[in-house]
Amino acid sequence: MGASSFRTVKSPAELTETFRANGLKVTPQRQLLFGLMHGNTVHPTAEALFAEASARMPGISLRTVYQTLTDLASMGELRLIDVGTGATRFDPNTDDHHHVVCSSCGEVRDVYVAGSDRLKVDGLEGFRIEEASILFSGTCVTCASDTVSRASARG
């Protein structure tokens, strides 16, 4: 499965219906957040979404952003992920996948590991596994080329 074929978060109209079906109020602020998450592939933090939402709708609160994201996650429309960068990220791709994070700039991308549901892992005896996550760490092509450019300039 390629990165372009992931199951994205529902459309803003579908999320509006999902929220209403769950007895949750749909506000213009929530509708804005639905739109910002639809097709979003950057795994944003709540703070990053808040900044983007504030630019479009001054007065939106960080609490509204967090509550909406938490509600979406509890409905299974988003995944909360920790990639070791300090803040929880929100991933609208709910398909079975893993992540790679750039150790320089913090960019996060989805990766697909063929057969990851059938991996044989030693040391899990006595555990009932509920979820597995593989996190790759490295340097993205942009940061790698910046490092090469700086080294060439010095040298």
CATH of the domain at 15: 1.10.10.10
- Residue 19 has φ and ψ, to the nearest 5°, of -60, -45
In-domain check, residue 129: yes
Residue 150 — pLDDT band, cuts 50, 70, 90? low
Residues with Cβ < 8 Å from 59, sequence gap 6 or more? none
Structural domain for 141, as ranges: 95-154
Measure the CA–CA gap between 9 and 38, rounded to whole angstroms.
Answer: 5
Q: What pLDDT score does 101 carry?
A: 92
pLDDT in tens, 13-61: 999 999 999 999 999 999 999 999 998 888 999 999 999 999 999 999 9
Last residue of a domain, one of 21, 56, 81: 81
Q: Are residues 148 and 117 in the same domain?
A: yes
Q: Which of these three, 22, 57, 81, is where a domain ends?
A: 81
Question: Is residue 88 assigned to a domain?
Answer: no
Angle at 14 between CA 92 and CA 60, to 5 degrees: 70
Q: For helices 28-37 and 12-21, what crossing angle results, to 10°?
A: 130
> Pick the residue with more confidence: 123 or 8?
123
Residues 123, 72 within the same domain: no
Q: How many independent structural domains does the chain possess?
A: 2
Do 148 and 114 lie in a common domain? yes
7 and 74: one domain?
yes
User: Does the predicted TM-score (pTM) go above 0.85?
Assistant: no
Assess whether 15 and 75 both reside in one domain.
Answer: yes
Provide the Cα torsion 42, 20, 130, 139; round to 10°.
Answer: 0
